């Protein structure tokens, strides 16, 4: 996985630099990369891409046909470069890396909140406000419920992990008692 990310990073950086040079293009490139990653993830498309007799032009034509008018000239050229360099399979990693660059530029971050019970809108607003203050970025929350937690929540935002779950607290207590 790390190898794919390492190889994908220069492509993501190139797309990000291109997108940043044009007003309003950051969102467009996000959409393009997500669409293309979804297209190539299709099992039939995967069979075609990996087929030894499939021609590069054939693969490119099919991807561009499926994407339709959603591809700019730059996007078409980017897809062609990926196909020529046999890097099409890196699109999910390129898209993920691009989103990290975009979030950094836009000063945003998505925080994952895993809780034992559903988080109310009021609680979400308080969590988002506290994280915005702490991280200095606009925070959006992605909330999920994990019924295996006894109570509380675990919050992950980038490198920050806040374990406020009952299970996490009991683990800390057990470690403190053991030492």
Using one digit for the tens of pLDDT, what is the confidence trace for 12-46? Answer: 999 999 999 988 889 999 999 998 999 889 898 88
pLDDT given for residue 52 in this prediction: 84
Q: Which pLDDT score, from 0 to 100, does residue 72 have?
A: 87
Q: What is the pLDDT of residue 24?
A: 82
Q: Which residues of the chain have pLDDT under 50?
A: none
Domain boundaries, given as residue ranges, for the chain: 2-103, 108-178
| Topology, domain 2-103 | Peroxidase; domain 1 (1.10.520)
What pLDDT is stored for residue 124 in this prediction?
Answer: 94
Identify the pLDDT of residue 12. Answer: 94
| Stated pTM of the model | 0.73
91 burial type by CB count under 10 A (0-12 exposed, 13-18 middle, 19+ buried): buried
Question: What is the pLDDT, as a whole number, of residue 178?
Answer: 87
As separate numbers, helices (DSSP H) first and strands (DSSP E) second, the chain gives 8, 4
CA 101/CA 29 separation, integer angstroms = 12
Q: What pLDDT sits at residue 1? A: 52
């Amino acid at each position: 996985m790390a190898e794919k990310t390492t190889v994908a990073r220069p492509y993501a950086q190139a797309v990000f630099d291109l997108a940043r040079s044009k007003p309003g293009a950051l969102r467009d490139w996000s959409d393009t990369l997500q669409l293309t990653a979804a297209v190539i993830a299709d099992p039939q498309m995967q069979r075609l891409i990996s087929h030894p007799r499939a021609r590069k032009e054939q693969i490119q034509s099919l991807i561009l046909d499926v994407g339709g008018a959603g591809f700019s000239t730059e996007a078409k050229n980017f897809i062609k470069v990926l196909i020529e360099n046999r890097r099409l399979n890196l699109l999910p990693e390129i898209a993920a890396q691009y989103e990290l660059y975009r979030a950094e530029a836009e000063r945003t971050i998505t925080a994952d909140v895993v809780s034992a019970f559903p988080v109310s809108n009021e609680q979400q607003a308080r969590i988002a406000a506290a994280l915005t203050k702490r991280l200095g970025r606009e925070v959006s929350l992605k909330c999920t419920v994990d019924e295996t937690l006894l109570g509380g929540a675990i919050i992950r935002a980038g490198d920050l992990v806040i374990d406020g779950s009952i299970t996490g607290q009991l683990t800390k207590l057990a470690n403190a008692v053991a030492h």
